[in-house]
Structure 1
Amino acid sequence: MSEPTAAAAPASPSVLAALVAELSSGGIEVVDLTAPLSSGTPVLRLPPEFGQTQVFELEEISRYDDRGPAWYWNNFRSGEHTGTHFDAPNHWVTGKDLADIASVPARQLVAPAAVLDVTDEVAKDPDFLVEVEHIEAWQDRHGALPDGGWLFVRTGWSSRSHAQEPFLNADANGPHTPGLSVACARWVAEESPVTGLGVETVGTDAGAAHGFDPAFPCHSYLMGSGKYGLTQLQNLDRLPSTGAVVIAGPLPIVSGSGAPARVLALVERTGRTGQAGRTS
Protein backbone atom coordinates (compact mmCIF):
# COMPACT_ATOMS: atom_id res chain seq x y z
CA MET A 1 0.00 0.00 0.00
CA SER A 2 1.48 3.33 -1.04
CA GLU A 3 2.11 6.07 1.46
CA PRO A 4 -0.17 9.13 1.22
CA THR A 5 1.39 11.97 -0.71
CA ALA A 6 1.93 15.17 1.24
CA ALA A 7 -0.10 18.09 -0.06
CA ALA A 8 1.94 20.56 -2.05
CA ALA A 9 2.49 23.89 -0.34
CA PRO A 10 0.44 26.65 -1.92
CA ALA A 11 2.49 28.68 -4.37
CA SER A 12 3.32 32.19 -3.26
CA PRO A 13 1.93 34.89 -5.50
CA SER A 14 4.30 36.19 -8.12
CA VAL A 15 5.71 39.68 -7.82
CA LEU A 16 3.56 40.87 -10.72
CA ALA A 17 0.42 39.23 -9.30
CA ALA A 18 1.09 40.95 -5.98
CA LEU A 19 1.52 44.26 -7.81
CA VAL A 20 -1.81 43.83 -9.60
CA ALA A 21 -3.51 42.97 -6.30
CA GLU A 22 -2.10 46.08 -4.63
CA LEU A 23 -3.19 48.25 -7.55
CA SER A 24 -6.71 46.80 -7.33
CA SER A 25 -6.95 47.28 -3.57
CA GLY A 26 -5.52 50.79 -3.52
CA GLY A 27 -2.38 49.75 -1.69
CA ILE A 28 -0.48 51.19 -4.65
CA GLU A 29 -1.82 54.38 -6.17
CA VAL A 30 -1.14 55.45 -9.75
CA VAL A 31 -0.43 59.19 -9.80
CA ASP A 32 -0.55 60.92 -13.18
CA LEU A 33 2.31 63.41 -13.49
CA THR A 34 1.30 64.51 -17.01
CA ALA A 35 -0.12 67.88 -18.04
CA PRO A 36 -3.15 67.61 -20.36
CA LEU A 37 -2.09 68.27 -23.95
CA SER A 38 -4.17 70.81 -25.88
CA SER A 39 -3.85 74.00 -27.90
CA GLY A 40 -3.72 75.85 -24.57
CA THR A 41 -0.70 73.95 -23.24
CA PRO A 42 2.12 76.45 -22.56
CA VAL A 43 5.14 76.18 -24.85
CA LEU A 44 8.69 77.52 -24.75
CA ARG A 45 9.31 80.84 -26.48
CA LEU A 46 12.74 81.52 -27.94
CA PRO A 47 14.01 84.85 -29.31
CA PRO A 48 12.40 85.51 -32.72
CA GLU A 49 15.59 84.84 -34.68
CA PHE A 50 15.39 81.15 -33.67
CA GLY A 51 12.93 78.47 -34.75
CA GLN A 52 9.92 77.95 -32.51
CA THR A 53 8.21 74.83 -31.20
CA GLN A 54 4.73 74.05 -32.45
CA VAL A 55 1.67 74.63 -30.30
CA PHE A 56 -0.35 71.40 -30.11
CA GLU A 57 -3.11 71.27 -32.75
CA LEU A 58 -5.79 68.74 -33.65
CA GLU A 59 -7.13 68.36 -37.20
CA GLU A 60 -10.37 66.42 -37.38
CA ILE A 61 -10.44 63.61 -39.95
CA SER A 62 -13.99 62.47 -39.30
CA ARG A 63 -16.54 62.52 -36.50
CA TYR A 64 -19.41 60.10 -37.19
CA ASP A 65 -20.22 61.89 -40.44
CA ASP A 66 -19.89 61.45 -44.21
CA ARG A 67 -16.09 61.43 -43.87
CA GLY A 68 -16.41 58.37 -41.62
CA PRO A 69 -19.90 57.48 -40.38
CA ALA A 70 -18.93 55.22 -37.47
CA TRP A 71 -15.68 56.67 -36.21
CA TYR A 72 -14.05 59.77 -34.80
CA TRP A 73 -10.32 60.45 -35.24
CA ASN A 74 -7.82 63.26 -35.71
CA ASN A 75 -4.45 64.14 -37.08
CA PHE A 76 -2.33 66.14 -34.69
CA ARG A 77 0.60 68.51 -35.02
CA SER A 78 2.97 69.18 -32.18
CA GLY A 79 6.56 69.94 -31.33
CA GLU A 80 8.58 67.12 -29.80
CA HIS A 81 9.12 69.34 -26.77
CA THR A 82 5.53 70.49 -26.25
CA GLY A 83 3.76 69.79 -22.96
CA THR A 84 4.99 67.08 -20.63
CA HIS A 85 7.88 65.65 -22.61
CA PHE A 86 11.04 63.57 -22.49
CA ASP A 87 14.40 65.01 -23.61
CA ALA A 88 16.74 62.52 -25.29
CA PRO A 89 20.54 63.00 -25.27
CA ASN A 90 20.65 64.09 -28.93
CA HIS A 91 18.43 67.08 -28.09
CA TRP A 92 21.53 69.15 -27.29
CA VAL A 93 24.74 69.69 -29.24
CA THR A 94 26.76 68.10 -26.42
CA GLY A 95 24.85 64.84 -26.99
CA LYS A 96 24.46 65.06 -30.77
CA ASP A 97 26.12 61.66 -31.32
CA LEU A 98 24.22 59.94 -28.50
CA ALA A 99 20.80 58.28 -28.30
CA ASP A 100 17.67 59.58 -30.00
CA ILE A 101 14.31 59.22 -28.28
CA ALA A 102 13.54 55.89 -30.00
CA SER A 103 16.83 54.46 -28.75
CA VAL A 104 16.26 55.07 -25.04
CA PRO A 105 16.26 51.56 -23.50
CA ALA A 106 12.81 50.51 -22.35
CA ARG A 107 14.28 49.35 -19.05
CA GLN A 108 15.24 52.95 -18.27
CA LEU A 109 11.65 54.13 -18.71
CA VAL A 110 10.71 52.48 -15.39
CA ALA A 111 12.78 53.77 -12.48
CA PRO A 112 12.60 55.02 -8.88
CA ALA A 113 12.35 58.71 -8.10
CA ALA A 114 13.71 61.02 -5.43
CA VAL A 115 11.69 64.21 -4.86
CA LEU A 116 13.47 67.36 -3.69
CA ASP A 117 10.95 69.93 -2.40
CA VAL A 118 11.97 73.60 -2.78
CA THR A 119 8.47 75.10 -2.97
CA ASP A 120 9.05 77.43 -0.01
CA GLU A 121 12.22 78.84 -1.57
CA VAL A 122 10.56 79.33 -4.97
CA ALA A 123 7.55 81.05 -3.40
CA LYS A 124 9.97 83.70 -2.14
CA ASP A 125 12.11 83.86 -5.28
CA PRO A 126 10.94 82.60 -8.70
CA ASP A 127 14.58 82.66 -9.89
CA PHE A 128 15.65 80.30 -7.09
CA LEU A 129 18.49 77.95 -8.04
CA VAL A 130 19.06 74.52 -6.51
CA GLU A 131 22.66 74.06 -5.37
CA VAL A 132 24.58 70.86 -4.67
CA GLU A 133 24.26 71.60 -0.95
CA HIS A 134 20.47 71.35 -1.18
CA ILE A 135 20.75 67.86 -2.63
CA GLU A 136 23.37 66.87 -0.05
CA ALA A 137 21.05 68.03 2.75
CA TRP A 138 18.27 65.93 1.20
CA GLN A 139 20.60 62.91 1.13
CA ASP A 140 21.53 63.45 4.78
CA ARG A 141 17.86 63.03 5.61
CA HIS A 142 16.68 60.44 3.11
CA GLY A 143 19.75 58.54 1.92
CA ALA A 144 21.51 58.40 -1.42
CA LEU A 145 19.82 59.33 -4.67
CA PRO A 146 18.52 56.23 -6.49
CA ASP A 147 21.01 54.58 -8.82
CA GLY A 148 19.49 54.70 -12.31
CA GLY A 149 16.51 56.68 -11.02
CA TRP A 150 15.15 60.19 -11.39
CA LEU A 151 15.73 63.37 -9.43
CA PHE A 152 12.47 65.33 -9.43
CA VAL A 153 12.58 68.97 -8.28
CA ARG A 154 9.26 70.03 -6.81
CA THR A 155 8.85 73.81 -7.10
CA GLY A 156 5.07 74.28 -7.13
CA TRP A 157 5.39 75.76 -10.63
CA SER A 158 2.74 73.44 -12.08
CA SER A 159 0.10 75.59 -10.33
CA ARG A 160 0.81 78.16 -13.08
CA SER A 161 0.34 75.75 -15.98
CA HIS A 162 -3.22 76.87 -16.76
CA ALA A 163 -1.94 79.67 -19.02
CA GLN A 164 1.14 80.68 -21.01
CA GLU A 165 1.96 84.02 -19.36
CA PRO A 166 2.12 82.99 -15.68
CA PHE A 167 3.85 79.74 -16.62
CA LEU A 168 6.69 81.41 -18.55
CA ASN A 169 6.71 84.38 -16.11
CA ALA A 170 8.69 86.58 -18.49
CA ASP A 171 9.45 90.29 -18.56
CA ALA A 172 11.85 92.47 -20.56
CA ASN A 173 14.78 90.66 -18.97
CA GLY A 174 13.50 87.22 -19.93
CA PRO A 175 11.69 84.43 -18.07
CA HIS A 176 11.86 84.08 -14.31
CA THR A 177 11.53 80.41 -13.41
CA PRO A 178 13.48 78.19 -10.97
CA GLY A 179 16.09 75.60 -11.87
CA LEU A 180 19.57 74.32 -11.09
CA SER A 181 22.77 76.30 -10.76
CA VAL A 182 25.62 75.57 -13.18
CA ALA A 183 27.57 73.65 -10.52
CA CYS A 184 24.51 71.65 -9.51
CA ALA A 185 23.61 70.77 -13.10
CA ARG A 186 27.13 69.51 -13.67
CA TRP A 187 27.08 67.51 -10.43
CA VAL A 188 23.74 65.85 -11.31
CA ALA A 189 25.03 65.02 -14.79
CA GLU A 190 28.54 63.86 -13.98
CA GLU A 191 28.63 62.76 -10.35
CA SER A 192 25.15 61.70 -9.26
CA PRO A 193 23.82 58.18 -9.95
CA VAL A 194 20.49 59.32 -11.41
CA THR A 195 19.48 58.74 -15.01
CA GLY A 196 17.76 62.08 -15.42
CA LEU A 197 16.14 65.22 -14.04
CA GLY A 198 12.43 65.98 -13.84
CA VAL A 199 10.94 69.45 -13.36
CA GLU A 200 7.59 71.27 -13.37
CA THR A 201 8.77 74.15 -15.56
CA VAL A 202 8.76 74.42 -19.37
CA GLY A 203 12.33 73.07 -19.60
CA THR A 204 14.92 71.54 -17.33
CA ASP A 205 16.88 74.80 -17.10
CA ALA A 206 16.11 77.91 -15.06
CA GLY A 207 14.54 80.85 -16.88
CA ALA A 208 17.76 82.85 -16.59
CA ALA A 209 19.95 79.99 -17.87
CA HIS A 210 20.59 81.65 -21.23
CA GLY A 211 23.00 83.91 -19.35
CA PHE A 212 24.83 81.14 -17.47
CA ASP A 213 28.25 79.76 -18.39
CA PRO A 214 27.70 77.44 -20.09
CA ALA A 215 24.29 78.58 -21.25
CA PHE A 216 21.48 76.13 -20.41
CA PRO A 217 23.72 73.94 -18.21
CA CYS A 218 21.11 71.26 -17.48
CA HIS A 219 20.72 70.62 -21.19
CA SER A 220 24.44 70.90 -21.85
CA TYR A 221 25.66 68.65 -19.04
CA LEU A 222 22.80 66.13 -18.83
CA MET A 223 22.47 65.53 -22.56
CA GLY A 224 26.25 65.39 -22.95
CA SER A 225 26.39 62.75 -20.22
CA GLY A 226 23.76 60.59 -21.93
CA LYS A 227 21.12 61.45 -19.33
CA TYR A 228 17.51 62.51 -19.76
CA GLY A 229 15.07 65.26 -18.91
CA LEU A 230 11.37 65.25 -18.04
CA THR A 231 9.56 68.57 -18.06
CA GLN A 232 6.18 70.14 -17.31
CA LEU A 233 5.39 67.53 -14.67
CA GLN A 234 2.38 67.88 -12.38
CA ASN A 235 1.23 66.43 -9.04
CA LEU A 236 4.70 66.12 -7.57
CA ASP A 237 3.10 67.13 -4.27
CA ARG A 238 1.43 63.70 -4.25
CA LEU A 239 4.76 61.85 -4.29
CA PRO A 240 6.85 60.89 -1.24
CA SER A 241 10.44 62.03 -1.00
CA THR A 242 11.50 58.44 -1.71
CA GLY A 243 9.78 55.24 -2.73
CA ALA A 244 7.81 56.18 -5.86
CA VAL A 245 8.43 54.28 -9.09
CA VAL A 246 8.07 56.31 -12.28
CA ILE A 247 6.93 55.04 -15.67
CA ALA A 248 7.81 57.54 -18.41
CA GLY A 249 6.45 56.64 -21.85
CA PRO A 250 7.60 58.92 -24.69
CA LEU A 251 6.65 58.29 -28.31
CA PRO A 252 9.55 56.36 -29.91
CA ILE A 253 10.11 58.80 -32.77
CA VAL A 254 12.96 57.49 -34.92
CA SER A 255 15.80 60.07 -34.91
CA GLY A 256 13.68 62.32 -32.67
CA SER A 257 15.22 64.56 -30.03
CA GLY A 258 12.36 64.07 -27.61
CA ALA A 259 8.65 63.37 -27.46
CA PRO A 260 5.49 64.12 -25.53
CA ALA A 261 5.20 61.56 -22.76
CA ARG A 262 2.62 60.11 -20.38
CA VAL A 263 4.41 60.01 -17.05
CA LEU A 264 2.95 57.94 -14.20
CA ALA A 265 4.15 57.25 -10.67
CA LEU A 266 3.38 54.19 -8.56
CA VAL A 267 3.11 55.19 -4.90
CA GLU A 268 2.71 52.73 -2.05
CA ARG A 269 0.09 53.86 0.45
CA THR A 270 0.11 52.90 4.14
CA GLY A 271 -3.30 52.05 5.53
CA ARG A 272 -4.79 53.19 2.21
CA THR A 273 -4.86 56.77 3.57
CA GLY A 274 -1.30 58.05 3.98
CA GLN A 275 1.88 57.99 2.02
CA ALA A 276 4.35 55.25 2.69
CA GLY A 277 7.27 57.56 2.11
CA ARG A 278 8.10 60.81 3.84
CA THR A 279 7.23 63.99 1.98
CA SER A 280 9.70 66.46 3.38
Structure 2
Amino acid sequence: MKIFDITLPIHPEMLHWGRKPEVEVVESLANGDASNVTRWRLGAHTGTHVDAPAHFVDGATPVDQLDLHALVGPALVADLTAVTGDIGVADLEAAGVSGQRRVLLKTSNSAGPLKATERAPSWVGLSPEAAQWLITEGVALIGIDYLTIESHTRTETWDAHHVLLGAGLIILENADLDGVPGGTYELVCLPTKLVGADGSFARAILIERDA
Protein backbone atom coordinates (compact mmCIF):
# COMPACT_ATOMS: atom_id res chain seq x y z
CA MET A 1 0.00 0.00 0.00
CA LYS A 2 1.29 3.45 -0.96
CA ILE A 3 -0.07 6.59 0.68
CA PHE A 4 0.06 10.02 -0.95
CA ASP A 5 -0.45 12.82 1.55
CA ILE A 6 -2.11 15.57 -0.51
CA THR A 7 -2.48 17.91 2.48
CA LEU A 8 -0.67 21.25 2.56
CA PRO A 9 1.31 22.00 5.74
CA ILE A 10 -0.29 24.76 7.84
CA HIS A 11 2.04 27.48 9.10
CA PRO A 12 2.15 31.29 9.35
CA GLU A 13 3.99 31.83 6.03
CA MET A 14 1.81 29.51 3.94
CA LEU A 15 -0.18 30.32 0.82
CA HIS A 16 -3.51 31.67 1.98
CA TRP A 17 -6.49 33.66 0.74
CA GLY A 18 -6.54 36.61 3.14
CA ARG A 19 -5.22 36.59 6.69
CA LYS A 20 -2.58 33.93 7.27
CA PRO A 21 -2.52 31.59 10.30
CA GLU A 22 -1.14 32.94 13.56
CA VAL A 23 0.44 30.86 16.33
CA GLU A 24 0.66 31.88 19.99
CA VAL A 25 2.75 30.00 22.55
CA VAL A 26 0.54 29.53 25.63
CA GLU A 27 2.86 27.31 27.65
CA SER A 28 6.35 25.95 27.00
CA LEU A 29 8.79 23.64 28.70
CA ALA A 30 11.52 26.19 27.97
CA ASN A 31 9.69 28.71 30.15
CA GLY A 32 9.26 26.24 33.01
CA ASP A 33 5.71 25.13 32.23
CA ALA A 34 4.57 21.53 32.54
CA SER A 35 4.11 21.09 28.78
CA ASN A 36 4.18 22.76 25.38
CA VAL A 37 0.82 24.31 24.41
CA THR A 38 0.03 26.53 21.44
CA ARG A 39 -3.06 28.43 20.35
CA TRP A 40 -3.74 28.76 16.61
CA ARG A 41 -5.80 31.45 14.90
CA LEU A 42 -6.88 30.28 11.45
CA GLY A 43 -9.87 30.28 9.14
CA ALA A 44 -12.02 27.31 8.23
CA HIS A 45 -10.72 27.49 4.64
CA THR A 46 -7.04 27.26 5.57
CA GLY A 47 -4.76 24.98 3.58
CA THR A 48 -6.27 21.80 2.16
CA HIS A 49 -9.93 22.27 2.97
CA VAL A 50 -13.49 21.30 2.18
CA ASP A 51 -16.19 23.71 1.04
CA ALA A 52 -19.61 22.58 2.26
CA PRO A 53 -22.82 23.68 0.49
CA ALA A 54 -23.42 26.10 3.41
CA HIS A 55 -20.42 28.12 2.13
CA PHE A 56 -22.60 29.71 -0.56
CA VAL A 57 -26.13 28.61 0.29
CA ASP A 58 -27.84 29.73 3.51
CA GLY A 59 -29.48 26.78 5.26
CA ALA A 60 -27.62 24.20 3.17
CA THR A 61 -25.55 21.34 4.59
CA PRO A 62 -22.72 22.48 6.92
CA VAL A 63 -19.38 20.73 7.04
CA ASP A 64 -20.13 18.65 10.15
CA GLN A 65 -23.14 17.07 8.42
CA LEU A 66 -21.47 16.09 5.14
CA ASP A 67 -21.91 12.49 4.03
CA LEU A 68 -18.70 10.62 4.84
CA HIS A 69 -19.44 8.23 1.98
CA ALA A 70 -18.81 11.13 -0.41
CA LEU A 71 -15.52 11.97 1.30
CA VAL A 72 -14.10 8.44 1.43
CA GLY A 73 -13.87 6.00 -1.45
CA PRO A 74 -12.52 5.52 -4.98
CA ALA A 75 -11.38 8.74 -6.65
CA LEU A 76 -9.99 9.64 -10.04
CA VAL A 77 -6.98 11.94 -10.25
CA ALA A 78 -7.58 13.49 -13.65
CA ASP A 79 -4.36 14.68 -15.30
CA LEU A 80 -5.15 18.11 -16.71
CA THR A 81 -1.65 19.52 -16.48
CA ALA A 82 -1.70 20.49 -20.15
CA VAL A 83 -4.77 22.71 -19.72
CA THR A 84 -4.33 26.47 -19.56
CA GLY A 85 -7.07 28.84 -18.45
CA ASP A 86 -10.41 27.34 -17.53
CA ILE A 87 -11.08 23.60 -17.50
CA GLY A 88 -13.95 22.93 -19.90
CA VAL A 89 -16.32 20.07 -20.53
CA ALA A 90 -14.15 18.67 -23.34
CA ASP A 91 -11.15 18.57 -21.00
CA LEU A 92 -13.10 16.58 -18.41
CA GLU A 93 -14.43 14.16 -21.01
CA ALA A 94 -10.94 13.59 -22.43
CA ALA A 95 -9.59 12.90 -18.92
CA GLY A 96 -12.15 10.14 -18.32
CA VAL A 97 -14.17 11.96 -15.67
CA SER A 98 -17.52 10.74 -16.96
CA GLY A 99 -19.14 8.29 -14.54
CA GLN A 100 -16.76 9.02 -11.66
CA ARG A 101 -18.12 9.86 -8.19
CA ARG A 102 -15.02 11.55 -6.72
CA VAL A 103 -12.68 13.54 -8.95
CA LEU A 104 -9.47 15.46 -8.22
CA LEU A 105 -8.27 17.81 -10.94
CA LYS A 106 -4.47 17.77 -11.23
CA THR A 107 -3.39 20.89 -13.10
CA SER A 108 -0.28 22.99 -13.62
CA ASN A 109 -1.23 24.66 -10.33
CA SER A 110 0.39 21.84 -8.35
CA ALA A 111 3.88 22.46 -9.68
CA GLY A 112 3.55 26.25 -9.85
CA PRO A 113 1.11 28.55 -8.03
CA LEU A 114 0.44 26.06 -5.21
CA LYS A 115 4.12 26.17 -4.21
CA ALA A 116 4.21 29.97 -3.78
CA THR A 117 3.54 31.83 -0.55
CA GLU A 118 1.37 34.53 -2.14
CA ARG A 119 -1.67 34.29 -4.42
CA ALA A 120 -0.85 34.10 -8.12
CA PRO A 121 -2.35 36.59 -10.61
CA SER A 122 -3.81 33.63 -12.53
CA TRP A 123 -4.34 29.90 -12.13
CA VAL A 124 -6.23 27.01 -13.71
CA GLY A 125 -9.85 26.86 -12.56
CA LEU A 126 -13.15 25.24 -13.52
CA SER A 127 -15.59 26.83 -15.93
CA PRO A 128 -19.26 27.14 -14.89
CA GLU A 129 -20.24 24.97 -17.86
CA ALA A 130 -17.88 22.22 -16.68
CA ALA A 131 -19.27 22.57 -13.16
CA GLN A 132 -22.78 21.98 -14.49
CA TRP A 133 -21.57 18.99 -16.49
CA LEU A 134 -20.14 17.43 -13.31
CA ILE A 135 -23.58 17.62 -11.74
CA THR A 136 -25.22 15.84 -14.66
CA GLU A 137 -22.51 13.16 -14.44
CA GLY A 138 -23.36 12.46 -10.78
CA VAL A 139 -20.07 13.62 -9.26
CA ALA A 140 -20.35 13.98 -5.46
CA LEU A 141 -16.92 15.47 -4.69
CA ILE A 142 -14.71 17.60 -6.92
CA GLY A 143 -11.23 18.73 -5.92
CA ILE A 144 -8.52 20.94 -7.34
CA ASP A 145 -4.92 21.88 -6.58
CA TYR A 146 -5.29 25.55 -5.69
CA LEU A 147 -6.80 27.99 -3.21
CA THR A 148 -10.08 27.90 -5.11
CA ILE A 149 -11.72 25.86 -7.83
CA GLU A 150 -13.02 29.13 -9.27
CA SER A 151 -11.43 30.65 -12.35
CA HIS A 152 -9.23 33.66 -11.59
CA THR A 153 -11.55 35.66 -13.85
CA ARG A 154 -14.67 34.89 -11.77
CA THR A 155 -13.71 35.69 -8.18
CA GLU A 156 -16.31 38.46 -8.09
CA THR A 157 -19.26 36.28 -9.14
CA TRP A 158 -18.08 32.81 -7.97
CA ASP A 159 -20.10 31.10 -10.68
CA ALA A 160 -18.64 27.59 -10.33
CA HIS A 161 -19.13 27.65 -6.56
CA HIS A 162 -22.78 28.65 -6.93
CA VAL A 163 -23.36 25.86 -9.45
CA LEU A 164 -21.56 23.12 -7.49
CA LEU A 165 -22.57 23.97 -3.94
CA GLY A 166 -26.09 24.86 -5.02
CA ALA A 167 -26.43 21.28 -6.23
CA GLY A 168 -25.00 19.84 -3.01
CA LEU A 169 -21.57 18.83 -4.30
CA ILE A 170 -18.56 18.90 -1.99
CA ILE A 171 -15.50 20.90 -3.06
CA LEU A 172 -11.97 20.04 -1.96
CA GLU A 173 -9.44 22.83 -2.52
CA ASN A 174 -5.67 23.13 -2.11
CA ALA A 175 -5.06 19.43 -2.74
CA ASP A 176 -1.34 18.98 -3.40
CA LEU A 177 -1.26 16.62 -6.36
CA ASP A 178 2.22 17.42 -7.62
CA GLY A 179 3.66 13.99 -6.83
CA VAL A 180 0.52 12.00 -7.68
CA PRO A 181 0.28 10.37 -11.13
CA GLY A 182 -3.08 10.41 -12.85
CA GLY A 183 -5.20 7.37 -12.10
CA THR A 184 -7.64 5.84 -9.63
CA TYR A 185 -6.97 5.80 -5.88
CA GLU A 186 -8.82 5.47 -2.60
CA LEU A 187 -9.50 8.93 -1.18
CA VAL A 188 -9.74 9.58 2.54
CA CYS A 189 -10.69 13.20 3.19
CA LEU A 190 -11.77 14.08 6.73
CA PRO A 191 -12.62 17.71 7.47
CA THR A 192 -12.60 18.78 11.10
CA LYS A 193 -16.10 18.55 12.59
CA LEU A 194 -16.79 22.27 13.03
CA VAL A 195 -20.47 22.43 13.97
CA GLY A 196 -22.55 24.50 11.57
CA ALA A 197 -19.49 25.67 9.64
CA ASP A 198 -19.32 26.58 5.94
CA GLY A 199 -16.12 24.56 5.52
CA SER A 200 -13.13 23.12 7.31
CA PHE A 201 -9.46 22.34 6.92
CA ALA A 202 -8.93 18.63 6.33
CA ARG A 203 -6.32 15.88 6.29
CA ALA A 204 -6.59 14.25 2.88
CA ILE A 205 -4.72 11.22 1.56
CA LEU A 206 -4.82 9.02 -1.51
CA ILE A 207 -4.15 5.31 -1.13
CA GLU A 208 -2.74 3.12 -3.89
CA ARG A 209 -3.14 -0.53 -2.88
CA ASP A 210 -1.01 -3.39 -4.14
CA ALA A 211 -2.62 -5.48 -6.84
TM-score (norm 2): 0.91
Residue 115 of structure 1: how far off its partner (Å): 1.9
1:150 aligns with 2:91: no
Runs of 4+ in 1 over 4 A off after TM superposition: none
- AA matched with 2:6: L
**Which blocks of at least 5 consecutive residues in structure 2 are unaligned?**
none
- Going from structure 1 to structure 2, the CA distance change for 1:38 and 1:66 (only over 3 Å counts) comes to closer
Counterpart CA distance in 1 for 2:199 and 2:55 is 7
Larger helix share, 1 or 2: 1
- How far apart in 2 are the matches of 1:209 and 1:112? 30
Report the Cα distance in structure 1 between the residues aligned to 2:158 and 2:137, rounded to whole angstroms.
19
Aligned to 2:117: 164
SS at match of 1:35: coil
Structure with the bigger RCO (C-alpha within 8 Å, sep 6+) is 2
CA distance in 2: counterparts of 1:73 and 1:187, whole angstroms? 47
Tell me if the contact between 1:154 and 1:237 (Cα under 8 Å) persists in the aligned partners: no
Quote the offset at 1:109 in angstroms: 2.2
1:240/1:75 CA distance change after superposition, 3 Å: same
Partner of 2:94: 137
Please name the residue that 2:43 is paired with. 79
Q: Determine if the alignment matches structure 1 residue 229 to structure 2 residue 193.
A: no
CA distance in 2, matches of 1:163, 1:184: 27
CA apart distance, 1:263: 0.5
Query: Which amino acid in structure 1 is aligned with residue 125 of structure 2?
Result: G
**Contact 2:80/2:95 (<8 A) preserved:** no
Asked if 1:202 corresponds to 2:147, the answer is: yes
1:186 equivalent among 132, 136, 139: 132
Residues of 1 paired with 2:198 and 2:12: CA distance?
21
Question: Please, which runs of 5 or more residues in structure 1 have no aligned partner?
Answer: 1-27, 45-52, 123-127, 171-175, 271-280
SS in 1 for 2:110: helix
- Give me the identity figure in percent: 23
Choose 1 or 2 for highest CA Rg: 1
CA distance in 1 between counterparts of 2:115 and 2:90 reads 32
The CA deviation at 1:121 is 2.7
2:28 is paired with a residue of what secondary structure? Answer: strand
Out of 247, 265, 272, the residue aligned to residue 206 of structure 2 is 265
Deviations 1:63-102 (A, max 9, x none): 2145622x1121111011111111000001xx22211011
Whole-angstrom distance in 1 between the partners of 2:177 and 2:140: 21
- Aligned AA for 2:127? S
Does the 8 A contact of 2:70 with 2:141 survive in 1? no
